[in-house]
């Protein structure tokens, strides 16, 4: 099937810009002469020897049979016009060729001019009505001037059709690329996806080589501009500030920010978009062939579409950030009521995310676990103060009451269908279960305990043991790791314990990054 010639418009090679009023292509128009009489080929060449349209001459291909013509059309799908003899190796060879071009090869772009020296064999009215051709001429009447006019009219039509098809293909590419990035949820991943799709748009034409193509995406916020995604020689600069970029690159990006518009210079393109006030982003591409006006408009349309999606992601992040802060504050309020003040809920959340990623859980699940973990002891709001604040050991009746907090928290949270609160319900209800089945409230064991609960159980105990409480002093880390080792397969999931023991420095770093008031600079 013939590949549509849309790419000829959208991303033409450097030496052949799109055939539009904005950017004229210097390569010649391709003309196929299909006739079994060599003399007709010679006369045609002579009649069109000085032909020029839109700054482009003609390049001729010579076929002496229908089969030869098909070979040329398959190897040169961008042939603009075919001058076809009706009668060649058989009486209707030219008519059969026309039908094959239109119906079998699906080539609707090429302009077809039928020529015949035997008009009685194929009456003009019948041929024009039944075959998808663009003109029908008798050889005897086709003077050099008429041939010139016919070819010129057909080239004009081919140019316009190619331009329309190019715009259509370009818009489809923008729609497809936009659809890809719209499905991306994370902000950094989104920006990276925009960069990848924009670079992909430059590969539309098969023979458009990208030489030393490099690209990067900059994010401008209150703290200054930072590289958030990059390819080629810019790859090592991810997360680096604008100041570390080459001076020439910085100048173009600064100009785009200052003008609040995209910049195009030779083989450089800096796409500017502003998803919201106070936040500006620049996509920088270099090492590519120059872009024409139509290509730039399509890229800017793509950036406009992605800016809308970008704003939606920022709004979602704002909402999730607000939810996260509210959950932290609620978790801290619970801990304050139980006299366990400090950074407990934040550390448990960080522990949970770190362990989850270490175990291979998807980043999205690790993020949900991190947000939901601060609510692991929500049920404590239903426990009497006398029990929560008792400085000594609880007696058996008090302990039975204390243990109800897991079920109470799970019950309160399960009323919501929100993803984070569903996760929080699982954590609240499962984080006091034990691997050997001796925990509470359900007595679950092994893999029946949800992975969120198994992770939170380790995180909660590690932080509790390493923190000062009304009834105890903090344990040294070595003692905590010994305790985990002893409780592997009893209290805790052995796989989780094994990962923690192999990565103790990561948990120790979190404990030191979020110290309680009064903690020494380096925790024991």
The CATH code of the domain that includes 286 is 3.30.450.40
Domain endpoint, select from 121, 141, 168: 168
Looking at the predicted structure, is the pLDDT value of residue 337 above 70?
no
Highest mean predicted confidence (pLDDT) among 25-29, 212-216, 286-290, 434-438: 434-438
Confidence of residue 159 (pLDDT cuts 50, 70, 90): confident
Residue 435 lies in a domain: yes
From the list 380, 414, 434, 472, the catalytic residue is 380
In this predicted structure, the answer to whether residue 404 has a pLDDT above a threshold of 70 is yes
Lowest mean pLDDT among 166-180, 219-233, 335-349, 462-476: 166-180
The answer to whether residue 333 sits within a structural domain is no
Per-residue CA distances from 1 to 10, 36, 105, 107, 126 (Å)? 20, 26, 5, 8, 28
Residues 164 and 199 placed together within one structural domain of the fold: no
Closest CA to 310 of 175, 185, 179, 172: 185
Most confident of 43-47, 221-225, 236-240, 378-382: 43-47
Q: How large is the average pLDDT for residues 151-159?
A: 92
Q: The CATH number of the domain where 79 resides is what?
A: 3.40.50.2300
| 295 and 343 fall within a common domain | no
CA 5 to chain centre: 26
Pair (406, 491) in one structural domain: yes
| Residue 231 belongs to a domain | yes
Question: What angle is formed at CA 431 by the lines to CA 427 and CA 435, rounded to 5 degrees?
Answer: 130
Q: Do 190 and 140 belong to one domain?
A: no
pLDDT value at residue 417: 84
Residues 152 and 262 in one domain: no
pLDDT at 327 over 50: yes
Q: Are residues 375 and 508 in the same domain?
A: yes
Look up the pTM and report it: 0.50
Single residue among 117, 134, 168 that ends a domain in this structure: 168
Task: State the pLDDT at residue 70.
Answer: 95
CATH code where residue 355 lies = 1.10.3210.10
User: Total domain count for the chain?
Assistant: 3
Task: Give residue 8's pLDDT.
Answer: 25
Collapsing DSSP states into helix, strand and coil, what is residue 338?
A: coil
Would you call the peptide bond into 192 cis, given omega within 30 degrees of 0 as the criterion? no
CA-to-CA distance for 154 and 147, rounded, in angstroms? Answer: 11
378 within domain boundaries: yes
**Residue 323 falls within a domain, yes or no?**
no
Q: What is the pLDDT of residues 470-508, one digit of tens each?
A: 667 889 999 999 999 999 999 999 999 999 999 999 999
CA 30-36-42 angle, 5° bins: 60
In a domain, 177, yes or no: no
Q: Are 119 and 210 in a shared domain?
A: no
Are residues 300 and 201 both part of a single domain? Answer: yes
Q: 217 is written with which tokens?
A: 């995406």
Residue 504 lies in a domain: yes
317 occurs within a structural domain = no
Which of 311, 326, 357 is the last residue in one of the domains?
311
Nearest to 379 by CA among 327, 429, 444, 332: 429
Q: Among 84-93, 322-331, 355-364, 446-455, which is the least confidently predicted range? A: 322-331
Please tell me whether residues 130 and 204 are part of one structural domain. no
Q: How far apart are CA 261 and CA 274, in angstroms?
A: 10
| pLDDT computed for residue 5 by the predictor | 30
Residue 213 pLDDT: 41
**127 and 11 both lie in a single domain:** yes
265 catalytically annotated: no
Are the C-beta atoms of residues 121 and 87 closer than 8 Å to each other?
yes
Residue 74 structural domain: 6-168
Q: Which long-range contacts link 384-393 to residues 24+ away (Cβ below 8 Å)?
A: 385/337, 388/337, 388/338, 388/339, 389/338, 389/339, 389/470, 391/470, 391/471, 392/471, 393/471
Which pLDDT tens digit goes with each residue over 83-132?
Answer: 999 888 888 898 899 999 998 998 989 999 998 877 665 566 677 777 88
pLDDT greater than 60 at residue 12: no
> Does position 20 have pLDDT exceeding 50, yes or no?
no
Q: Are residues 373 and 500 in the same domain?
A: yes
Q: pLDDT band at residue 202, thresholds of 50, 70 and 90?
A: low
Average pLDDT over residues 234-261: 86
CB of 216 closer than 8 Å to CB of 253: no
Judgement on whether residues 191 and 112 belong to the same structural domain of the protein: no
SS (H, E, C) 380-417: HHHCCHHHHCCCCCCCHHHHHHHHHHHHHHHHHHCCCC
């Amino acid at each position: 099937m013939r590949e549509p010639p849309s790419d000829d418009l959208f991303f033409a090679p450097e030496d052949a810009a799109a055939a539009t009023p904005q950017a004229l292509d210097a390569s010649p128009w391709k003309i196929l002469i299909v006739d079994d009489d060599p003399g007709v080929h010679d006369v045609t060449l002579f009649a069109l020897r000085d032909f020029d349209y839109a700054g482009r001459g003609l390049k001729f291909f010579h076929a002496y049979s229908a089969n030869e013509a098909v070979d040329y059309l398959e190897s040169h799908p961008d042939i603009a016009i075919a001058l076809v003899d009706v009668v060649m190796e058989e009486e209707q060879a030219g008519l059969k060729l026309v039908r094959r071009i239109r119906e079998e090869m699906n080539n609707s772009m090429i302009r077809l001019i039928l020529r015949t020296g035997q008009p009685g064999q194929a009456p003009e009215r019948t041929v024009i009505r039944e075959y998808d051709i663009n003109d029908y001429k008798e050889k005897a009447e086709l003077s050099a001037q008429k041939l010139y006019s016919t070819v010129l009219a057909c080239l004009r039509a081919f140019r316009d059709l190619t331009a329309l098809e190019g715009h259509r293909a370009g818009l489809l590419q923008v729609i497809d690329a936009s659809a890809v990035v719209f499905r991306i949820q994370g902000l950094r991943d989104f920006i990276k996806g925009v960069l990848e799709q924009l670079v992909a748009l430059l590969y539309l034409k098969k023979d458009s080589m990208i030489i030393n193509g490099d690209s990067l995406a900059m994010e401008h916020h209150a703290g200054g501009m930072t590289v958030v995604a990059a390819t080629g020689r810019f790859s090592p600069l991810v997360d680096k500030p604008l100041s570390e970029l080459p001076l020439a690159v910085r100048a173009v990006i600064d100009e785009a920010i200052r003008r609040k518009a995209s910049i195009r210079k030779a083989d450089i393109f800096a796409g500017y978009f502003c998803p919201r006030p106070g936040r500006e982003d620049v996509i920088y591409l270099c090492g590519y062939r120059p872009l024409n006006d139509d290509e730039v408009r399509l890229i800017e349309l793509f950036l406009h579409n992605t800016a809308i999606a970008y704003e939606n992601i920022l709004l979602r992040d704002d909402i999730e950030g607000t939810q996260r802060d509210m959950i932290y504050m609620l978790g801290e309020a619970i801990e304050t009521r139980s006299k366990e003040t400090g950074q407990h809920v934040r550390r448990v959340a960080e522990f949970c995310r770190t362990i989850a990623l270490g175990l291979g859980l998807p980043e999205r699940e690790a993020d949900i676990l991190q947000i939901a973990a601060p609510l692991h002891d929500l049920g404590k709001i239903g426990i009497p103060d006398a029990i929560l604040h008792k400085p000594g050991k609880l007696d058996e009746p008090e302990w039975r009451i204390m243990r109800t907090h897991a079920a109470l928290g799970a019950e309160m949270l399960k009323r919501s269908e929100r993803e984070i609160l569903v996760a929080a319900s699982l954590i609240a209800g499962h984080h006091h279960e034990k691997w050997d089945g001796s925990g509470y409230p359900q007595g679950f064991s092994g893999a029946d305990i949800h992975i969120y609960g198994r992770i939170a159980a380790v995180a909660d105990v590690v932080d509790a043991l390493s923190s000062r409480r009304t009834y105890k002093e903090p344990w040294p880390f070595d003692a905590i790791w010994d305790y985990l080792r002893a409780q592997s397969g009893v209290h805790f999931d052995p796989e989780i314990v094994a990962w923690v023991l192999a990565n103790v420095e990561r948990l120790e770093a979190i404990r030191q990054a979020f110290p309680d008031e009064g903690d020494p600079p380096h925790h024991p």
